[in-house]
Amino acid sequence: MRNLWVYLRNYKKETVLAPLFKMLEATFELFVPLVMAAIIDQGIQGANVPYVLKMGLLLILLGIIGLVCSVTAQYFAAKAAVGVSTRLRHELFAHIQSLSFTEIDTLGTSTMITRMTSDVNQVQNGVNMFLRLFLRSPFIVFGAMIMAFTIDVKAALIFVVAIPLLSVVVFGIMMLTMPMYKTVQAKLDQVLSATRENLTGVRVIRAFNKEKEEIERYEEKNRKLADMQLFVGRISALTNPVTYIIVNVATIVLIYTGAVRVNEGSITQGEVVALVNYMSQILIELVKLANLIITITKALACANRIDHVLKLRSSMAWEQNLPADPVREAGSEPEKRYAVEFCHVHLAYAGAGAESLSDIDFRVPKGQTVGIIGGTGSGKSSLVNMIPRFYDASGGAVLVDGKDVRNYSMEELRRKVGVVLQKAVLFQGTIRANLLWGKQDAGEEELWRAVETAQAKDFVEQKSGKLDAQIAQGGRNLSGGQKQRLTIARALVGQPEILILDDSASALDYATDAALRKAIQNLDADMTVFIVSQRASSIQYADQIIVLDDGEVVGMGTHKELLANCQVYQEIYYSQTGGTERL
């Protein structure tokens, strides 16, 4: 939590002025009971109308000054709170972007969304309330007690008893509820996760007629969240009635003691009224303090959750400001280097019981097309995801252009490797804006060349605005095949040395798929292409085919070689072609 308060450093002025103006407001408020006592004792009892009017005007003036101070304090507190939450949200988003896929997979999408939205909003409310009330409420409570002592010591002793009792109640409830609010936020994560899962998979749910089961599952998570919130709410709700009971009992005792003291002639009737007003002020401020503590408790729980994410460090360390490669600059035999090398690579995901890839060892010369095929879950995507270093090898090394990927800077490696992932993801905006992700300064000709190579030219030209046609969020206004072709075009715009197509043509028909592969081969003789596919026809003309089974390489060679000596490849190929011949 301490780390989060560094965000207030840019708002030092607001952090000081907000409580200062609240203190000024509280100071003027403490004078009000004394003015009322003077009106009763000197004005009303003496039938001094001019004095009553004069003191009444003084009350109005105190009220106006207090209002101005209150509004000013609210302005500075809100400015600081909103500024802190804005910066915190930016820092949190940037930090999450810096995490590797391993940490993102571990945290989960729903948890990160909750951190950046609900949790940050709770922290914002906490900062706002803290700056406004953390000095004002204690100042009025103890100030009212001191002012009561200036009126009458014996009557003021009631305050000495009441205030510690109230503090025990308020802080005791805070200590009970603080860990519970952490549990509430965790259950909120679960509800958000279920909501996101249902909304993204709504078509599948309806296709299998699982609406009823999913509603029941969601209601169960929602009920647990509601039950926990009600339980914490009931404990928090005790704050107001218990404090009211203590204050009202203290007020009764105060009125009785005041009456006795008036009868003795020790204090006046106006002073009794002032004492009751001070007790009322204490009641109001303690109720505010209780609400402040509830808000602060929620904010602290959320701040700790945010702090947990901010303290999380990526398992990948990227090199920065790397020196130039003297071998490459000298041009000494770059043709002898391999584009990609896997040197006895092993991969185990975080928390996994077994390795996803075991002892992967192969080399790919520059300019070759490599096909990767295997059954579902065989590790095809895991293998190619290690080339752009989405995941680090748990054993062995992955080399790109003769250099370990762990020794590249992120910018350099991303320039070398273009990736088209399994799921075609486009962002809201224009086609042009999405394509420029591949290369920000790409010209019109480069964009159209990439679109044509990706076999997307026909449907792009038909759209109103062509490259400036709008794409809805997630590409909802495009078909699956159109989205895949545009994601391929986006990768081609960057003209990478290594292009990875991770089952990115699954929505294309065979003719378009063949035309795409032919167009890519004609692009650049030096571009190394990895094609991950479930279709044997998509990779049978590759220079080299790697066959995976359960995370291991069970075959490597050309199409003909594998048909002759790889049983796994034979089963895949003949099951798709319907052939019966066995070699």
pLDDT at 321: 46
SS3 430: strand
Question: Is residue 75's pLDDT more than 60?
Answer: yes
pLDDT at 76: 92
**Kind and range of the H or E element at 555?**
strand 552-557
Quick: pLDDT tens for 108-161.
777 788 888 888 898 888 888 888 888 888 888 888 888 888 888 887 788 788
Rounded-to-integer distance, Cα 169 and Cα 238, Å:
9
Q: Which token pair is 561? A: 């070689």
pLDDT at 3: 62
Q: Which token pair is 216? A: 């029941």
Could you tell me the pLDDT band of residue 71, with boundaries at 50, 70 and 90? very high
Rounded-to-integer distance, Cα 296 and Cα 290, Å:
10
Could you tell me the pLDDT band of residue 328, with boundaries at 50, 70 and 90? very low
Share of the chain above pLDDT 90, in %: 4
Question: Is residue 535's pLDDT more than 70?
Answer: yes
Share of the chain above pLDDT 70, in %: 94
SS3 130: helix
Question: Is residue 72's pLDDT more than 90?
Answer: yes
Range of lowest pLDDT (248-257, 266-275, 311-320): 311-320
pLDDT at 135: 81
Quick: pLDDT tens for 185-230.
788 878 888 887 888 788 888 888 888 888 998 899 899 899 988 9
Quick: pLDDT tens for 545-582.
999 988 888 888 888 888 888 888 888 888 887 764 44
Could you tell me the pLDDT band of residue 583, with boundaries at 50, 70 and 90? very low
Question: Is residue 320's pLDDT more than 80?
Answer: no
Q: What's the N-to-C CA distance of the chain in angstroms?
A: 67
Question: Is residue 332's pLDDT more than 60?
Answer: no
Range of lowest pLDDT (84-88, 227-231, 337-341): 337-341
Could you tell me the pLDDT band of residue 324, with boundaries at 50, 70 and 90? very low
**Kind and range of the H or E element at 338?**
strand 338-347
Q: Which token pair is 20? A: 């200062």
Residue (of 520, 522, 527) closest to 504 by Cα position: 520
The residue assigned the tokens 């994410």 is 309
Quick: pLDDT tens for 281-290.
877 787 777 7
Q: What is the mean pLDDT of the chain?
A: 82
Instruction: Spell out the residues 6+ positions from residue 80 whose beta carbon is closer than 8 angstroms to its own.
Output: 8, 11, 14, 15, 18, 127, 128, 131
